[in-house]
Structure 1
Amino acid sequence: MVAFRVYNDYVAHTLGVTTVLNILQFVLVLLVASIPVAMPTVFSITLALGALNLSKKKAIVSRLSSIEEMAGVDILCSDKTGTLTKNQLTLGETSLINAKDAQDVIFIGALASRKEDNDPIDNAVIAALKDQSKLKDWVLDKFIPFNPVSKKIEAHLHNQTSNEKLWVVKGAPQVIGQMSDDSAVANKVNDITDQLAKRGYRALGVAQSKDEGKTWTVLGVLSMFDPPRDDSKKTIDECKREGIRVKMITGDDTAIAIETAKKLGMGTKIYNASKVFPKDLDPDNVPDDLAKLIADADGFARVFPEHKYAIVKTLQKQGHIVAMTGDGVNELLL
């Protein structure tokens, strides 16, 4: 219709400024009338193409609208282990407490592991045991897997030759240290953990009980190093250029989180969540002073799942579009 009008006026020599303006006005009316009808279709096709491109990068899109939401993200809360780091643990030096030999600590740590789970920590501990034939003498009666609240793994075993019973645990040093009746042992474990963390090492406490859990003997602390992923720093730099602030949210020690942040060029204003979050915290109603701390912080360490939930909810209430990434169940539930 527009083409016909232009051609007709051109042949009749009536094409002037007024005529052109009338035609443009008509075109504008047509555009305004057609856009609301076509917009949902155009959006759906665009988002579908975006989902296709993301699938080529091994990303699963469950809702098309999530692509649009992701494009508006201004804060990314990222787990550390397996996300910013390779999760390829290598066992380092062993700090002895009540054990006489490093292999004794590693042996008990291996008993508190299940090779079939293919867990990176379990694999590192088992691989460090020189004489793995010793494991065959012990039969597993009960296995209590790791969870983010207890922060430990516990196994109950008996020796098939002597029928001796043995309970073993490995886990977060601050938790294992508190299982001892001797406060000096707990303090020593904390000191060792702090020294290892300053060098970027993760620590794993190991203890055993020969009286079915009535008393525990802390044997030592294993050190592990988990190097940053090769692409982590580049990804974080790209996020910064796009105006996205990355906050590290990890269950590891504060010193380890800060050391990793330094290597990746992230902010080092990282707080111990167990100290700054009250025990009776209502994740949906965070106090104003804590909400300000959450907004200003570069990250939090020693977090529990409820801390992660509170952090994300608080940032959302402040008007931010928040993304949460990690390989744990507590990240997937947010």
Structure 2
Amino acid sequence: MCAAQPEGSSQKIAGLSSEEAKRRLSEYGYNEVEERRRSVFLTVAKKFWGITPWMLEVTIALTWLLHKYVDTYVVAGLLLFNAALSLFEERRADSAVTALKQRLHIQARVKRDGEWVSLPAREVVPGDVIRLRAGDVVPADVKIVEGKLDADQSALTGESLTVSKTVDDSVYSGTIVKRGEVTCIVTATGAKTYFGRTVELVQLAKPKLHMEEVTASVVRWLLLMVALLLALGLGVSYARGVNLAQILPLTVVLLVSAIPVALPSMFNISMAVGSLELSRKGVLVTRLSASEDAATMNVLCADKTGTLTKNRLSIAEIISLNGFKEDEVAIFGALASNEADKDPIDLAFLSYVKQTSNSLGEHKILEFTPFDPTTRMTQALVSLGGDEFRVYKGAVEAVLELCHSPPSERSEVERRVQTLTEKGYRVLAVARGAEGVGYTLAGIAALSDELREDSPRLVNELSELGVSVKMLTGDALPVAQEVARKLNLTGPVEKMSALRSRGDENEYAQIVEGFHSM
């Protein structure tokens, strides 16, 4: 346990005592979503329960009654082999997942007994006072009591842009702090957090195994054929006056022959080989049938942000105004940016300038003011060749107000902004000028979350294979529609509530569970 002493008035905010924290830990439990783990006995017993094991168990009973002990031992061996192979693969995957979780273990700065200490995030309890700064992953649902920050909530909402949070605002577990420093009080931990409830929904999914459906279908058809043959044989025997008791052993043999005892073993072996091949490519399979579930899917639900896109803003278009050039607009926007803040909009302008002009030339930043939620702009005082001027970057309305743009220019800019917004772009304005002289609107820039280079190709390949791709996002509708257009995704837009009311919800649950296991 290492001490950490943040500066500021946060020292006045009292934290929990060690005794109170221990009491709350026993009341609320650890700050983690408890995995639904079965006991070893139930895990082993489950391998002998289901359509496939029942089929083999019936075969064992019938061959034993017919005194075909060799067949009994062979089928029993197959049953044990199936169970052992499945258990071995899943245990190996569990060990890998456990090791991975230990490596991803995070710490939290917590105030205990009046001192700031660093504790494992799982030991945080409701009521704890914690300190968050740039780069931290929020360990629990918290309420800000001091300071302000910009948070990346893309893992929860799909929104690529950061969200500003200040006193009395809530910040959810799993959010990443991009800028700022705050003192917070923990309001919820573990499964009670916003993120924890989402994880529990995935754990509740109980998909049907495709392998068992195929096996059951094969067995049904074989039993139907055998039943027809038995009916025909019994009818002929009865017509000839043969004692039916004499052909009972033959009847049992025919029933046993209808059970494909080696089929489950072949399925398990093929899935084990598939899991091994996937592991060589860096894919961790935690459930033996997960790869088979993924291979037989007909609908792929893919998250937009970070999966289909890079979760990184980039400049898609620049419109220069009032005699300025596009590269000048980009440079002004980059000058009003600070790479150290890791703000996605700032990084987009800086990256664009590096890719186009490679540098900011002889511009020298004398003073930089980060984004202010009240003005909705960032600004910088710049020196070039002995002359000083200011550059502004921010919301279009705020920059237009700063420049005192005439009605004609304002209406033209608003028309262009509306067009870009309908395409799903985030639009910012850039201005240049000096105090006492006035400011001139240099241009507007359209930003978007850039697609991954391989996304269009993969979506097209999946479509050719007959897999329907559905994009999941909590982003604004125009943004989602523009990404769908670029990916050539067609079909209606559906809300989650509508999906829950549909009869094929289980189809989607199977997909979620299948990929959750990989």
Q: TM-score, normalised by structure 1?
A: 0.50
What are the equivalent positions in structure 2 for 1:86-105 lying under 5 Å apart? 92-96=317-321, 99-102=322-325, 104-105=328-329
1:113 aligns with 2:319: no
Q: Is the 8 A contact 2:90 2:288 kept in 1?
A: no
Of the three residues 176, 183, 186, the one matched with 2:396 is: 176
- Residue 124 (structure 1) shift: 1.2
- Residue 123 (structure 1) shift: 1.8
1:141 aligns with 2:188: no
C-alpha distance in 2, partners of 1:247/1:89? 21
Provide closer, same or farther for how the CA distance between residues 128 and 112 of structure 1 changes in structure 2, counting only shifts above 3 A.
Answer: farther
Of structures 1 and 2, the larger Rg is shown by: 2
- Residue 68 (structure 1) shift: 3.3
Q: Is the 8 A contact 1:202 1:252 kept in 2?
A: no
- Residue 110 (structure 1) shift: 2.0
Provide closer, same or farther for how the CA distance between residues 23 and 132 of structure 1 changes in structure 2, counting only shifts above 3 A.
Answer: closer
Q: Percent identity?
A: 15
Q: Is the 8 A contact 2:333 2:349 kept in 1?
A: no
- The corresponding residue for 2:485 is 262
Provide closer, same or farther for how the CA distance between residues 231 and 133 of structure 1 changes in structure 2, counting only shifts above 3 A.
Answer: closer
C-alpha distance in 2, partners of 1:294/1:188? 44
Of the three residues 399, 406, 417, the one matched with 1:193 is: 417
- The corresponding residue for 2:360 is 132
Of the three residues 21, 31, 41, the one matched with 2:88 is: 41
Provide closer, same or farther for how the CA distance between residues 157 and 231 of structure 1 changes in structure 2, counting only shifts above 3 A.
Answer: same
Q: TM-score, normalised by structure 2?
A: 0.36
Amino acid corresponding to residue 290 of structure 2 in structure 1: E
SS in 2 for 1:132: coil
**Cα RMSD between the aligned structures?**
5.6
- The corresponding residue for 1:305 is none
Provide closer, same or farther for how the CA distance between residues 143 and 51 of structure 1 changes in structure 2, counting only shifts above 3 A.
Answer: farther
- Residue 113 (structure 1) shift: 3.2
Amino acid corresponding to residue 292 of structure 1 in structure 2: A
1:249 aligns with 2:473: yes
- Residue 109 (structure 1) shift: 0.9
**Greater RCO, CA 8 A, separation 6+:** 1
Give unmatched runs, 5+ long, in structure 1: 1-17, 272-288, 297-314, 326-334
Amino acid corresponding to residue 176 of structure 1 in structure 2: V
- Residue 202 (structure 1) shift: 4.7
Q: Is the 8 A contact 1:207 1:218 kept in 2?
A: yes
Q: Is the 8 A contact 1:262 1:268 kept in 2?
A: no
SS in 2 for 1:166: strand
Q: Is the 8 A contact 1:85 1:232 kept in 2?
A: no
- Residue 291 (structure 1) shift: 1.4
- Residue 26 (structure 1) shift: 3.8
Q: Is the 8 A contact 2:332 2:391 kept in 1?
A: no
Q: Is the 8 A contact 2:319 2:444 kept in 1?
A: yes
Provide closer, same or farther for how the CA distance between residues 102 and 91 of structure 1 changes in structure 2, counting only shifts above 3 A.
Answer: farther
C-alpha distance in 2, partners of 1:38/1:77? 31
- The corresponding residue for 1:3 is none
State the aligned residue count: 256
Provide closer, same or farther for how the CA distance between residues 250 and 19 of structure 1 changes in structure 2, counting only shifts above 3 A.
Answer: closer
Q: Is the 8 A contact 1:91 1:128 kept in 2?
A: no
Q: Is the 8 A contact 1:91 1:124 kept in 2?
A: no
- Residue 179 (structure 1) shift: 5.4
- The corresponding residue for 1:330 is none
Provide closer, same or farther for how the CA distance between residues 54 and 244 of structure 1 changes in structure 2, counting only shifts above 3 A.
Answer: farther
Provide closer, same or farther for how the CA distance between residues 141 and 31 of structure 1 changes in structure 2, counting only shifts above 3 A.
Answer: same
- Residue 177 (structure 1) shift: 3.0
Give unmatched runs, 5+ long, in structure 2: 1-64, 97-271
Amino acid corresponding to residue 237 of structure 1 in structure 2: N
1:206 aligns with 2:433: no
Q: Is the 8 A contact 2:369 2:379 kept in 1?
A: yes
1:64 aligns with 2:286: yes
Tell me the alpha carbon deviations over residues 223-275 of structure 1, each in whole angstroms, 9 at most, x when there is no partner: 57988555323311344446453305385882x6534423422126459xxxx
Q: Is the 8 A contact 2:428 2:445 kept in 1?
A: yes
- Residue 135 (structure 1) shift: 1.9
C-alpha distance in 2, partners of 1:144/1:55? 45
Of the three residues 297, 304, 314, the one matched with 1:79 is: 304
Of the three residues 338, 350, 359, the one matched with 1:122 is: 350
SS in 2 for 1:206: strand
- The corresponding residue for 1:292 is 498
C-alpha distance in 2, partners of 1:190/1:231? 35
- The corresponding residue for 1:11 is none
Amino acid corresponding to residue 498 of structure 2 in structure 1: K
Q: Is the 8 A contact 1:110 1:129 kept in 2?
A: no
Amino acid corresponding to residue 232 of structure 1 in structure 2: S
Provide closer, same or farther for how the CA distance between residues 108 and 178 of structure 1 changes in structure 2, counting only shifts above 3 A.
Answer: same
Q: Is the 8 A contact 2:462 2:468 kept in 1?
A: yes
Tell me the alpha carbon deviations over residues 106-157 of structure 1, each in whole angstroms, 9 at most, x when there is no partner: 3321212346769454221455569933422x22434459xxx99x873443
Amino acid corresponding to residue 157 of structure 1 in structure 2: L
- The corresponding residue for 1:12 is none
Amino acid corresponding to residue 100 of structure 1 in structure 2: G
SS in 1 for 2:361: helix
Q: Is the 8 A contact 2:424 2:480 kept in 1?
A: no
C-alpha distance in 1, partners of 2:382/2:288? 51
Q: Is the 8 A contact 1:144 1:153 kept in 2?
A: yes
